[in-house]
């Protein structure tokens, strides 16, 4: 299975959840409204998934309408956003759970990673199981 994954993770209390609030392109242009607009499900649909240029680029890599899933990675989501995402055929993956799963996999498999991000997660996972009483 192929995945078109978009990530919108915020730990800010006001913007940590993906919402089903109405998306406004005009508010997206305003400094005070932009962050909230980028946390709406409709923002991802209109600005990330259903963009002609993006769809054309995905086709170059073999993505067709029926052979991939659309995914949004977020810190959390409102119940309404989860329901609407399911209706739109969009999966929601939760960043804290993903990070936990990645750290768990790194604890179980001691492969050396040269990728800085993967290596940092691996080192964090290893450090979290080490004794801190030194």
pLDDT tens by residue, 81-107:
999 999 999 999 999 899 888 888 877
Q: What pLDDT is stored for residue 134 in this prediction?
A: 55
pLDDT tens by residue, 18-32:
999 999 889 888 888
Q: Which residues contact 41 (CB under 8 A, 6 or more apart)?
A: 18, 19, 20, 23, 72, 81, 84, 85, 88, 90
62: left (phi over 0), alpha (psi -120 to 50) or beta: left
The structural domains of the chain, with segments of one domain joined by +, span: 2-94, 98-129
Give the Å distances, CA to CA, from 18 to 21, 76, 97, 108, 124.
9, 6, 16, 32, 27
pLDDT tens by residue, 8-20:
887 777 778 999 9
Nearest by Cα to 80 from 37, 33, 36, 22: 22
Report, in this order, helix, strand and coil percent for the chain, each rounded to 5. Answer: 50, 20, 35
């Amino acid at each position: 299975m192929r995945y078109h994954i978009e990530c919108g993770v915020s730990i800010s209390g006001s913007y940590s959840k993906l919402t089903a609030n109405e998306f406004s392109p005009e508010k997206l242009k305003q400094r005070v409204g932009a962050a909230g607009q980028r946390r709406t499900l409709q923002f991802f649909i209109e600005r990330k998934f259903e963009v002609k240029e993006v769809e054309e680029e995905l086709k170059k890599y073999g993505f067709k309408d029926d052979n991939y899933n659309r995914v949004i990675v977020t810190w959390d989501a409102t119940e309404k956003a989860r329901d609407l995402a399911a209706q739109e055929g969009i999966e929601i993956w939760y960043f804290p759970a993903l990070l936990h799963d990645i750290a768990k996999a790194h604890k179980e498999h001691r492969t050396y990673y040269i990728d800085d991000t993967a290596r940092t997660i691996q080192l964090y996972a290893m450090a979290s199981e080490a004794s801190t009483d030194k």
